Amino acid sequence: MSSPRRRRSRNRGENVPHHDRWILSYADFITLLFAFFVALYSISLRDAGDERVLSETLNGVFDAVQKSIKPINVGEPVSGQPESERLLEVAPPEDADAENPPGEVEGRSPLYEALNQSINSQFPTLQSQGDISITEDANWITLDMKAALVFDQGDFELTNEAVALMIVISNILRSYPAPIMVLGNTDDSPTNSTRIPSNWHLSSMRAASVADELVYRGINPKLLAPIGFSSENPQVRNTNDFARAQNRRVTLKISKQRSDNLHDYLFN
């Protein structure tokens, strides 16, 4: 007698309408909200000057939105593309890739040209010998200096040639004030000095010596930050003496964006 009653109870449950169809609309709303915040983030990338990343991000956002809001056809299918979806298409110019290949910088910045010209005129052999290299990307100008040029072996005091080089560099940087990170790097050989207990100390003190000299030559200290990486950021593997010499270096990372101080530029 009890089984028919249970069967009737289950049948009544099957006829009750479902009340969770709102989840579909809620999911579409969350997707659109996510797309909105990603679009805001993309606009901030545009302020930083990275137009290529902005275009790629917006294309990805709008593709995702198009998939999420595409309606389910009910009844006869509608031929053609709805006007609302056409507005979401973002097509770059056909010749954009040809004019600006990935990784290339459109033209050279005035700061790059000034540094390159001044160093070559005052120290004509440094770049050809590989003691200094200057490169540029969309956000930074990178000036690499081999440690053998700037310091004596195992020391953190600037050589006379390094001081002369810092004078030339600081004369240019005063005309183009920008945030600068001074990065010290060593090889993986341990330090044999009680005065310098580790490569962390050596790389940090070398970066600080360069930063001190730049400040002495008139660079705003609020734009500078010395950072020591020890042997944790090698350019090549430390397999021989030549490779280790490539890894012992001090690098100036000069931002192409103006800022009043480096702290706010990095953390705000």
Q: What is the CATH number of the domain that holds 228?
A: 3.30.1330.60
Does 119 lie in the same domain as 248?
Answer: yes
Residues 128 and 174 in one domain: yes
Q: What's the pLDDT at 252?
A: 97
Q: Which pLDDT belongs to residue 44?
A: 64
Q: Would residue 120 count as lying in a domain? A: yes
Asked if residue 123 and residue 82 are part of one domain, the reply reads no
Total domain count, the chain: 2
Residues 133, 37: one domain? no
The reply to whether 81 and 29 lie within a common domain is: yes
- CB-based burial, 180-194: b 16+ in 10 Å, e otherwise: bbbbbbbbeeeeeee
Last residue of a domain, one of 43, 70, 99: 99
Residue 204 lies in a domain: yes
Check residue 32 and give its pLDDT. 78
User: Is 8 inside any structural domain?
Assistant: no
- 180 & 236 share domain: yes
pLDDT at 265: 84
Asked if residue 7 is part of any domain, the answer here is no
Q: Is residue 257 part of a domain?
A: yes
Where in the sequence is the domain holding 43, given as residue range(s)? Answer: 20-99
- Asked if residue 187 and residue 66 are part of one domain, the reply reads no
Residue 35 lies in a domain: yes
How confident is the model at residue 74, as a pLDDT?
A: 47
Question: What pLDDT, on the 0 to 100 scale, is given for residue 106?
Answer: 54
Per-residue pLDDT of the chain (268 residues; tens, 9 = 90+): 445 554 444 455 455 555 666 676 777 778 777 777 777 766 665 555 555 555 555 555 445 444 444 444 444 544 444 444 333 333 444 444 444 433 444 568 999 999 999 999 999 999 999 999 999 999 999 999 999 999 998 899 999 999 999 999 999 999 999 999 999 999 999 998 888 999 999 999 999 999 999 999 999 999 999 999 999 999 999 999 999 999 999 999 999 988 888 888 888 8
Q: Identify whether 4 is part of a domain.
A: no
Q: What is the pLDDT of residue 28?
A: 74
